[in-house]
Amino acid sequence: MPITERLTELAEQRPNVCVVGSINADLTVTVKRLPHGGETIQGSPLRILPGGKSANQAATAGRLGAAVELVGAVGSDPNAQLLRDALTDAHVDISAVETVDSATGTAMIVVDDAAENFIVISAGANGEVDAETVCGHADKIQRAGCLGLCLEICDEAVLAAAQIAHDAGVSVVFNLSPIRAVSEDLLALVDVLIVNEHELAAIIGSERAVAGCEHGQWDAVGRALADEHGISTAIVTLGGEGSAVLKTSESEVSVTRIPALPIEVVDTTGCGDAYMGTVLTALAAGDDVVTAARLAGVVSAHAATGVGAQTSYGETGKIAQFAADHGL
């Protein structure tokens, strides 16, 4: 089925998605080039944009037509209202977004003319999202078709959400970002892992990650994920090289390479989140992981042609036209 048709169908299906995690105000400045250590350079006027990995994923799912619920927290400052308004505009149910005494989470983002960036996160209210918070909204996880998790909240909250989903038969999609060590208890609950090369290396080691990502030795990657961590399905995103979908059984590692679309990149901020939000939506609608990854490649490519994270995300019609323009 052409991607344009599948995108339209997704919006009509209204699959149920839940995302548990972070909500940030992105403090964004553009520069000619990224600074060296200890260097001060001139940047553009500061822009405060809606972000946070989990919020971005939920916003993508909402704009694609999913019935999406977000569990998280913000403060009571002006940034909180900006983020609530942006999520509502993206059709996200924010009834489980709590208000806490801490400042709303922030991300300091610098983007250069080559669309490269660096990001520093201050957790703020996201640090108040704990296992008790998650358990208080268990019903939202249990009725979802798919749960999205990353690591901008504490490990205990992530593990609690994954366990609730697993016990309810809800698929758990996990992105190991920001990179840090995680327990095997969490990885055992993951149905689909989404990682880039650096995140993959944090799980299986840099030597095997490089062998796969740079030299195409994907069998070793798939076997390491399955045999050592119990992860049989993974998507490895490769930036301008597209992605690789790995499905590992006892007898073989099935590898599907998906090329990137040829686009003029403006800003990659939030593109990985757009990718994951699309995977969540497609899997919740019943698509297989390869189809989900193909759709995600298109949606994230579209996001890369705009500025910011959520501000670059489009509704289904706009993305379908983008896909059609690329012969999809």
Burial class (CB in 10 A: 0-12, 13-18, 19+), 272: buried
| DSSP secondary structure code for residue 298 in this structure | H
- Identify whether the C-beta of residue 43 lies closer than 8 Å to the C-beta of residue 31: yes
- Identify whether the C-beta of residue 127 lies closer than 8 Å to the C-beta of residue 154: yes
Locate tokens 């489009």: which residue? 314
Say which of 273, 287, 288, 325 is annotated catalytic.
Answer: 273
- Identify whether the C-beta of residue 316 lies closer than 8 Å to the C-beta of residue 55: no
What angle (nearest 5°) sits at the alpha carbon of residue 202, between those of residues 200 and 208? 60
Q: How many CB atoms lie within 10 A of CB 148?
A: 35
Distance from C-alpha of 301 to C-alpha of 60, rounded to nearest angstrom: 13
Burial class (CB in 10 A: 0-12, 13-18, 19+), 248: buried
Beta bridge partners of 257: 244
Helix (H, G, I), strand (E, B) or coil at 50: strand
For helices 271-284 and 53-63, the axis angle rounded to 10 degrees is: 50
Q: Which string of DSSP letters, residue by residue, matches 91-154?
A: TEEEEEEEE-SSPPEEEEEEE-TTS-EEEEEE-GGGGG--HHHHHTTHHHHHT-SEEEE-SSS-
Exposed e or buried b for every residue in 95-107, given b needs 16+ CB within 10 A? ebbbebebbbbbb
Distance from C-alpha of 267 to C-alpha of 113, rounded to nearest angstrom: 9
| 112 catalytic residue (yes or no) | no
**Catalytic sites, residue numbers:** 273
